[in-house]
Amino acid sequence: IFIEILDINDNIPTFKEHSIKIEMAESTPPSTRFQLLPAHDDDVGSNSRLKYSLSSTSDDNLYLTTTKHFDRETIDRYDLEVIVSDNGTPRLSSTLQVEIRILDINDNPPVFYNDTYRFYVLENTTIGALIGRISAYDLDDGVNSNITYKLLHLNIIGNALRTVNSNIISIDAVNGDVLLESVLDYESDKYYHYTVEASDCGVPTLSAYTQVSILVQDSNDNFPHISL
Ligand SMILES: [Ca+2]
Ligand SMILES: [Ca+2]
Ligand SMILES: [Ca+2]
Ligand SMILES: [Ca+2]
């Protein structure tokens, strides 16, 4: 007597885990393949011949393949479901939850809230006074969006354009506060012009620049000339 034991489809194909988390850099190009652990089915023949949806497959490998460019600033997370089914009758299947986190890349420079800045300061303002604030934002995440501010150069326009070494103002590197650092005199210099740089802390660093004008306002500090 020859007894042939026929397989029935009594095993569901299963993934080792119900859910997985994958991290992909924002800069991951399309057509990048991420290998996933394949499902397992204890049956034989077509009862264990597995087919995945939402994936490209080969005989024994399961891949997720990226099809487009990511932008973490627009979408930073994708939730997918991979379905595996065998080829038995009835067809049995199970699912794998896949959470994809898009990791930030420094692809946005800082942006100033204003195109240019103009501060009016009375000439008798005390040294150390807050005369304005310069502020920028950055769409990236973490250090890629941490901004530091810096004064680049100074041109005074009184009657002629010239550059001086001593700073009339300083800028707080962290919060962009602009402080007066020197005594002003409307009668000698009415206008100061700076370039301010905002840089993020990404690698490589991205920077933006803005123009800042300080306009000195006259206060009544000159005695009238009296002719006798
Ligand atoms: Ca099966
Ligand atoms: Ca981006
Ligand atoms: Ca980014
Ligand atoms: Ca940035």
Q: What is the pLDDT of residues 166-182, one digit of tens each?
A: 678 999 999 999 999 98
Give the whole-number percent of the chain exceeding pLDDT 90.
56
Question: Which-ligand-closest: CA of 70?
Answer: 2
Whether the ω angle into residue 90 lies within 30 degrees of 0, i.e. cis, is yes
Question: Which-ligand-closest: CA of 201?
Answer: 4
Do 19-103 and 111-217 show the same overall fold?
yes
For the chain, domain boundaries: 19-103, 111-217
176: tokens are 């962009």
Nearest to 147, CA basis, from 117, 113, 115, 109: 109
**Distance of CA 203 from the midpoint of ligand 4 (Å):** 9
**Distance of CA 79 from the midpoint of ligand 1 (Å):** 26
Question: Which-ligand-closest: CA of 91?
Answer: 1
For 29-85, the three-class secondary structure string (H helix, E strand, C coil) is: CCCCEEEECCCECCCCHHHHCCEEECCEECCCCEEEECCCCCCCCCCCEEEEEEEEE
Nearest to 144, CA basis, from 194, 110, 174, 169: 110
Class of domain 19-103: mainly beta
Question: Which-ligand-closest: CA of 74?
Answer: 2
End-to-end Cα spacing for the chain: 143
**Distance of CA 75 from the midpoint of ligand 2 (Å):** 9
**Distance of CA 22 from the midpoint of ligand 1 (Å):** 27
User: Going residue by residue through the chain (228 aa), what tens digit of pLDDT does each one get?
Assistant: 888 888 899 999 999 999 999 999 999 999 898 888 889 999 999 998 988 877 544 445 677 888 889 999 999 999 888 888 888 888 998 989 999 999 999 999 999 999 999 999 999 999 999 999 999 999 999 999 999 999 987 666 665 556 555 678 999 999 999 999 989 888 888 888 889 999 999 999 999 999 999 999 988 766 666 666
**Distance of CA 142 from the midpoint of ligand 3 (Å):** 10
C-alpha span between 9 and 122 (Å, rounded): 88
Whether the ω angle into residue 29 lies within 30 degrees of 0, i.e. cis, is no
Q: Which CATH number, 3.90.180.10, 1.10.238.10, 3.40.50.1010, 2.60.40.60, labels domain 111-217?
A: 2.60.40.60
pLDDT, one tens digit per residue, over 45-90 is 999 898 887 754 444 567 788 888 999 999 999 988 888 888 888 8
**Distance of CA 18 from the midpoint of ligand 1 (Å):** 18
